[in-house]
Structure 1
Amino acid sequence: MTESPQWTIDPDRALPAESGTRGVAREIYAAVEALPIVSMHGHVEAQVFVDNEFFGNPTELLITPDHYLVRMLVSQGFSPGELGVASRHDPALTEQDPRLIWRRFCENWKLFRGTPTRYWLEHELAVVFGAEMQPSAASADALYDSIAAALQTEAFRPRAILDRFNVEILATTDSALSDLSAHDKLGDLLGPGRIVPTFRPDSLLHVDHDRWTDEVRMLSDVSGVEVANYESFLSALRQRRGAFIAAGARATDHGHLLADTTPLPASEARRIFAAALRGEVTAEEAQAFSANMLYEMARMSVEDGLVMQFHPGVLRNHSHGVYGSYGPDKGFDIPVRVEFTRSLRPLLDSFGMNKDFRFIAFTTDETVYSRELAPLAGCYPAMKLGAPWWFLDSPEQMRRFRESAVETAGFYNTSGFVDDTRALASIPARHDLSRRIDAGFLARLVAEGRLGLAEAVETAVDLTYNLPLQSYAARN
């Protein structure tokens, strides 16, 4: 039997099922529902807000750029090209009809049952776009037309979306090689501090990837520092960090496979860097150098005040075939187990007690919350525990995060929520889910007599708004 396409999303979605606790959660959620969004870790391109153009169609906005959605459909037999992902080699492999791609998504709506993607999409469709029908084969064309019409109104230009959903500050993630020209323009358009860059130097810190020597030459060009050796490499990175700070940056962002932060003797770092310039570096040397550079990035954060964000433990581009055909960030980045306690010891031993250092650690391995990360954040003043991120950005794992981490680290050694999204329209959806899950967790503490209601409301406000602002505050 075909399910009716008419639907209204539950106003109590993601709140506790037990009626008494749910009532308390409603009160807590009501206190934070309309608070401004502080989005300090994301991947929407700054140029999108400079151009401020209408989005072309629903597929371009909601499907093709969303690797969560794409990977689910790929897991059921679609190729990325059939979902509009551009082929690197053969344009004929990429579906050009956005309506056909949309129909494929709607016909497979049931695949997203029980996933956070379902929650985000429901929120986007019903709340952001005011749709009155859920995706299905029967509703696909009408839903497409409704959203397409909305996208051609002023309310759905990118900068209008920021205002409509009360996004107070949004951080992009930018290559260390970026000239930051888009951010310069946004400072003039929106005022300083509304959209800020984040310094992401990963491609320069992994010396064994194919384009590393080319990127070193680009670093020389953009920094004005001729990079000829290890010392000038560090100088060029310092110059870029300074340029990012001048453009409003609050943080750096580091995505490594391992959490190792062991520094090298300067002579060994010089040797490996020189070998990398000659194209003679080994995998073991490259890993040792990347660990050393994390340590150096921490040292630089002490110097310049940028918050150091660290999220190891993802094996990128697991499918060589998908990477070769479609490039990176197409849903084939897979978590691996990570050890933090010993790996972070060199960094924290040197800088963890320093009042000028701020370090936020994220993970995709939830088994380490109670055993490693919460105890570390619970004692080192420089460290905060980042919110559940990427594969853990879901209702059940958010709840488990609070259950695993709060008893050891408390609420106030955590960073507040980050959405980590490339999909602009999903930002309000993701923040709403986080607010609901925290309201439910706090309501349980109230119901168990472990917190008063006023304390719970204050904590919810702090988790939603104050903690992210404090965690990513610019150094005065």
Structure 2
Amino acid sequence: WTKRLSAISGKNADTFEGLIAALNKRHDDFAAAGCRATDHGLEYLPDVTCTDAEAKSIWEKAQKGTAATFTESEKFTAYIMLHVGRLNHAKGWTTQLHLGPVRDPNLGLLNRLGSDAGCDTIGDYRQGPGLIRWFGTLSGENTLGKTIIYNINPADTALFACMIGSFQDGITAGKIQYGSGWWFLDQERGMRDQMNALSDLGLLGQFVGMITDSRSFLSYPRHEYFRRILCDLVGSDVDSGRIPNRAEWTEKLIADVSYQNAKKYFGFKL
């Protein structure tokens, strides 16, 4: 991986300084191609600090063949995630954090078929401390950009829905987002729970709505599935008297969540 990164970036990623230069160069390359977001799949964000010197030592030791310890791995992950967050803020990109899965827990299946054989599952990791440290560090530096966080464990739904409110800036509407139901929560109950939690603890009207796995063409119909659930949720709230029966309001809410908010948030010229 290091050799491929070095070759495509023109930077020597064997050294720590070269690694950072290579990541910066690839970030610039993707920006030139029109990229607007990064997406990171992690078990959790580590609740640790890591200095430049520590990150340099961890990387260069690994390049010499010494595997990082668990603590070193957490430190390096935290360091790189902060670095990417700063890069994204500088370019106006969105950082997406998909947190919580356990990969390849079935060792028998892993040994027979290899990785990603279909037995990943929901993890039971503590998400709050690392997220708060990441958000807090960047906000303290005034380098916190637009961010969307996604949970895979339904136990974290209220945590995520509430946390985004702690880091809004009062300038960019919906700057920090609680993302749509993802993976095992990408089904009716998961979508309803996510939107209800966002309504209870945040503001549904600024939600950027459903995303899709662009690697799978057959995943695109989930947008229609999502819109039907959203319409049913809003319609039920109207019928029960929870929100006013004003078509001009509810139609705008549904259109915004289904399309307009994402268009504005990501700067799509459609």
TM-score by length of 2: 0.88
Tell me the distance in 1 between the aligned counterparts of 2:92 and 2:231: 32
1:287-342 alpha-carbon deviations (Å, 9 max, x no partner): 22112211111111122222111112111122233333333333121111233332
Matches within 5 A, 1:377-416: 377-381=164-168, 382-416=175-209
Aligned residue type for 2:15: N
1:366-386 alpha-carbon deviations (Å, 9 max, x no partner): 22222x211121232241111
Higher gyration radius (CA): 1
Tell me the distance in 1 between the aligned counterparts of 2:79 and 2:208: 25
Instruction: Decide whether aligned partners of structure 1 residues 336 and 383 sit closer, same or farther in structure 2, where only a CA change above 3 A counts.
Output: same
Counterpart residue number, 2:35? 249
Residue 217 (structure 1) aligned with residue 11 (structure 2): no
1:458 to 245, 252, 255: 252
Aligned residue type for 1:230: F
Tell me the distance in 1 between the aligned counterparts of 2:194 and 2:133: 26
Counterpart residue number, 1:274? 60
Question: Are the equivalent residues in 1 in contact too, given 2:85–2:144 (CA < 8 A)?
Answer: no
Identity %: 25
Counterpart residue number, 2:108? 321
1:435 to 210, 215, 227: 227
Instruction: Decide whether aligned partners of structure 1 residues 324 and 242 sit closer, same or farther in structure 2, where only a CA change above 3 A counts.
Output: farther
Counterpart residue number, 1:364? 152
Instruction: Decide whether aligned partners of structure 1 residues 292 and 331 sit closer, same or farther in structure 2, where only a CA change above 3 A counts.
Output: same
Aligned residue type for 2:50: L
Instruction: Decide whether aligned partners of structure 1 residues 458 and 309 sit closer, same or farther in structure 2, where only a CA change above 3 A counts.
Output: same
Tell me the distance in 1 between the aligned counterparts of 2:69 and 2:166: 37
Residue 229 (structure 1) aligned with residue 15 (structure 2): yes
1:62-81 alpha-carbon deviations (Å, 9 max, x no partner): xxxxxxxxxxxxxxxxxxxx
More displaced 10-residue stretch of structure 1: 385-394 or 361-370: 361-370
Counterpart residue number, 2:239? 447
Question: Are the equivalent residues in 1 in contact too, given 2:48–2:74 (CA < 8 A)?
Answer: no
1:265 to 39, 51, 54: 51
Between the two structures, name the one with larger relative contact order (CA 8 Å, sep ≥ 6). Answer: 1
Instruction: Decide whether aligned partners of structure 1 residues 467 and 283 sit closer, same or farther in structure 2, where only a CA change above 3 A counts.
Output: same
Instruction: Decide whether aligned partners of structure 1 residues 328 and 471 sit closer, same or farther in structure 2, where only a CA change above 3 A counts.
Output: farther
Cα distance, 1:363 vs structure 2: 0.9
Counterpart residue number, 1:29? none
Unpaired runs of 5+ residues, structure 2, are: 169-174
Tell me the distance in 2 between the aligned counterparts of 1:235 and 1:412: 40
Counterpart residue number, 1:198? none
Counterpart residue number, 2:172? none
Tell me the distance in 2 between the aligned counterparts of 1:442 and 1:355: 35
1:169-226 alpha-carbon deviations (Å, 9 max, x no partner): xxxxxxxxxxxxxxxxxxxxxxxxxxxxxxxxxxxxxxxxxxxxxx111111110011
Tell me the distance in 2 between the aligned counterparts of 1:421 and 1:334: 21
Tell me the distance in 1 between the aligned counterparts of 2:247 and 2:8: 53
Counterpart residue number, 2:171? none
2:78 to 291, 304, 307: 291
Question: Are the equivalent residues in 2 in contact too, given 1:362–1:385 (CA < 8 A)?
Answer: yes
Unpaired runs of 5+ residues, structure 1, are: 1-214
Matches within 5 A, 1:12-161: none
Tell me the distance in 2 between the aligned counterparts of 1:228 and 1:375: 41
Counterpart residue number, 1:101? none
1:107-137 alpha-carbon deviations (Å, 9 max, x no partner): xxxxxxxxxxxxxxxxxxxxxxxxxxxxxxx
Tell me the distance in 2 between the aligned counterparts of 1:352 and 1:387: 23
Counterpart residue number, 2:212? 419
1:385-406 alpha-carbon deviations (Å, 9 max, x no partner): 1110111000111111122221
Question: Are the equivalent residues in 2 in contact too, given 1:385–1:413 (CA < 8 A)?
Answer: no
Instruction: Decide whether aligned partners of structure 1 residues 264 and 473 sit closer, same or farther in structure 2, where only a CA change above 3 A counts.
Output: same
More displaced 10-residue stretch of structure 1: 251-260 or 448-457: 448-457
Cα distance, 1:410 vs structure 2: 1.0
Question: Are the equivalent residues in 1 in contact too, given 2:43–2:102 (CA < 8 A)?
Answer: yes
Cα distance, 1:421 vs structure 2: 5.5
Aligned residue type for 2:153: D
C-alpha RMSD over aligned residues:
2.1
1:439-462 alpha-carbon deviations (Å, 9 max, x no partner): 011112211222333211111101
Tell me the distance in 1 between the aligned counterparts of 2:130 and 2:207: 20
Give the total of aligned pairs.
259
Residue 470 (structure 1) aligned with residue 264 (structure 2): yes
Tell me the distance in 1 between the aligned counterparts of 2:93 and 2:46: 20
